[in-house]
Amino acid sequence: MDSFIGQMNNRISKEPYGKCFVVSDFTDIMDYEAAKKSIARLEKSGVLRRVIRGVYDKPKYSKLLNELTAPDVNEIALALARNYNWTIAPSGNTALNLLGLSTQVPANWEYISTGPYRSYDIGKMKLRFSHRANKTIEGMSWKSAMVIEALKAIGKDSINDKTIYILRKRLTEDDKERLLSEARQTTSWIYSIIKTI
């Protein structure tokens, strides 16, 4: 068990603070039951913090606030997607915030998902997954799906030069190439904006 804990600690230490983990992230090192027990020990020692059932983060301490910072909701969403083998993408205000198109931190973090409709309470925030057919996001990169969802959230008539400028700056050349290729089946007005970007 100590050897397993050492390997887990080593993996966790290489990740940034705020990174979330689920038991299955460690089943390449040990079996599920051993991973579950090891996570419980790491939680007890303060290396990990349980943020919701089955999801743990590497907690970040704020010297300014003199306490642990709130968990990263996007990281929790990614951990749940890994755990249940869902494909997800941020939608609505969540996509706008993550792409820098809105400075407002969402109270409700929303994602489209190939999994079922699910909702989680995380402190004062809500994390919601809305089911979409596989073909909507299947084979699409995280960035491509997020850009499409952000454009839908803004709406055809509200997209302006500033929107295009921010997205152009936010996306790498690789992101843009992938987006052009992956978004071909999307709505024509969205694809037209993507070509402009």
| CATH code, 19 | 1.10.10
Q: What is the pLDDT of residues 2-36, one digit of tens each?
A: 788 899 999 999 999 999 999 999 999 999 999 99
pLDDT at 56 over 90: yes
Same domain? For 57 and 91 the reply is no
Is the CB of residue 61 less than 8 Å from the CB of residue 22?
no
Distance, in Å, from the CA atom of 152 to the CA atom of 167, rounded to the nearest integer, reads 14
Let me know: does 13 contact 19? Beta carbons within 8 Å: no
* 175 & 113 share domain: yes
Residue 160 has pLDDT above 70, yes or no: yes
In a domain, 172, yes or no: yes
In a domain, 81, yes or no: no
pLDDT of residue 193: 96
Host domain of residue 135: 86-196
Residue 74 lies inside a defined structural domain of this protein: no
Structural domains in the chain (count): 2
Is 78 among the domain residues?
A: no
Structure confidence at residue 1 (pLDDT)? 62
Q: Answer yes or no: is pLDDT of 135 > 80.
A: no
Q: Is residue 77 part of a domain?
A: no
Q: Tell whether 97 is covered by a domain.
A: yes
Rg of the chain over Cα atoms, rounded to whole angstroms, equals 19
Residue-wise pLDDT for 169-196, tens only, equals 999 999 999 999 999 989 999 999 999 9
**Could you tell me if residue 162 is inside a domain?**
yes
Residue 130 lies in a domain: yes
- Report H helices in the chain: 2-13, 32-44, 73-84, 92-98, 134-137, 142-154, 161-170, 173-182, 188-196
* 30 and 120 fall within a common domain: no
Q: Are residues 29 and 103 in the same domain?
A: no
Q: What is the mean pLDDT of the chain?
A: 93
What confidence score (pLDDT) does residue 72 get?
Answer: 95
Q: What is the pLDDT of residue 9?
A: 92
Which amino acid is residue 156, in one-letter code? K
Degrees to nearest 5, angle at CA 102 with 97 and 105: 55
Q: Are residues 27 and 111 in the same domain?
A: no
Same domain as 171, residue 142: yes
Distances (CA, A) of 74 to 9, 24, 29: 23, 18, 26
Domain boundary among 10, 40, 68: 68
- Global confidence as pTM: 0.90
